[in-house]
Amino acid sequence: MLSQSSGVLGTMLSPDGLRIIACVVGVVGSLLVYGILQERIMTRPYSGEQGDEFFKFSVFLVLNNRILSVCAASIILMATRGNVAPVAPLYKYAAVSVSNVLATTCQYEALKYVSFPVQTLGKCAKMIPVMIWGYFINSRRYDGADISVAAFITLGCTIFALYGDVSSKASTSGANTSTYGVGLMLGYLGFDGFTSTFQDKLFKGYQMETYNQMIWVNTCSAAVSFLWLFSDSSIGQAFDFVGRHPKVMYDIMILSTASMLGQLCILYTIREFGALLFATIMTTRQFLSILLSCIIFMHPLTLQQWGGTCMVFGALYYNAFIKAGRKAAKKSDAVKLDGTEDEESDKLIAKLER
């Protein structure tokens, strides 16, 4: 028993073990901070000389997030001497940017009408729009296991919505606000599904670096956000709010920093350890986000809602390990057929997966 414990400890303290721990801490820590601050900014009032006021400028949050991400990607590309110039036509980066800004805005706006646990659980259902967009944009086909997992997640989200209060504490406009919030979440899922699917198409079609796409998509997103704020005169109102409540800018900067660090940790985790570890970390992080939100912001959940939550996360873990098994089988077949390993087998796997 002692030798087993020593073996586990030795594995954890090995270079790879320490890097995995760093990835878990980086991804989970940054995104938990992001989730908590997102809820705090959008659903809790800021006190000032003119009384309590709610922050209402979702696109202003998007603008700050994207500007910081552009700065981070630029520094990385200059440090690594990567390709800073756009690889694809700018209008294709812009297509991703517009859908990304709309998705993020819907995500923030939804918190005015539905609780954070509802928003987080709803985001788990993004498999469905990704599958739909994947069919139309990339002509992909999905098997029965993928469809079953998506259906199970949808059922869990439906149970969660039907058997408890899903409204946000910031909502004061009546009973229809929850329905409006769910509509915003559906908008988020649709736009986010298009964003990720089209990003995948750009990666494969132009062989671009991750940070190259990151800098140009975020640059376009920042431009779209600024034009949006300028067109409806809300950029001045946002700065006026910051002037009355300076603490909100402090929260926004931490939110943007957490979002940027989360992106970098996610990219590093996927590159170094693959999609399975990343999917497991993200699923755990989403569950912890719901748990912390319930504790910090006092969202009581019914027994049925906890059951729906377990259904969703159970399906996500199952899906992650099923995909890992498929990838291992394909890699084994690739080595047997081609006699190659490492990078060459990965190339063959990519062909098999297409």
Q: Which residue has the higher pLDDT, 141 or 191?
A: 191
Instruction: Annotate 100-153 with DSSP letters as a single string.
Output: HHHHHHHHHHHTTTB-HHHHHHHHGGGHHHHHHHHHHHH-----HHHHHHHHHH
What is the Cα 109 distance to its own chain's centre? 16
Report pLDDT for 61: 93
Mean pLDDT of the 7-28 span? 70
What's the pLDDT band for 170 if we cut at 50, 70, 90? low
* Residue 340: per-residue pLDDT: 43
Q: Is the pLDDT of residue 166 over 70?
A: no
Region 195-223: what's the mean pLDDT?
A: 84
- 300-332 burial: b if 16+ Cβ within 10 Å, else e: ebeeebbebbebbbebbeebbeebbeebeebbe
pLDDT, greater one: 54 or 153: 54
Mean pLDDT, to the nearest integer, of 298-303? 77
* pLDDT, mean over the chain: 77
Q: Which of 9-13, 153-157, 279-283, 290-294 bottoms out in mean pLDDT, i.e. has the lowest?
A: 9-13
- Residue 6 above 60 pLDDT? no
Instruction: Using CB atoms within 10 Å of the CB of residue 352, give its burial: 0 to 12 exposed, 13 to 18 middle, 19+ buried.
Output: middle
pLDDT at residue number 305: 80
Res. 7 pLDDT band, cuts 50 70 90: very low
Confidence at 348, pLDDT banded by 50, 70, 90 = very low
- So what's the pLDDT on residue 4? 44
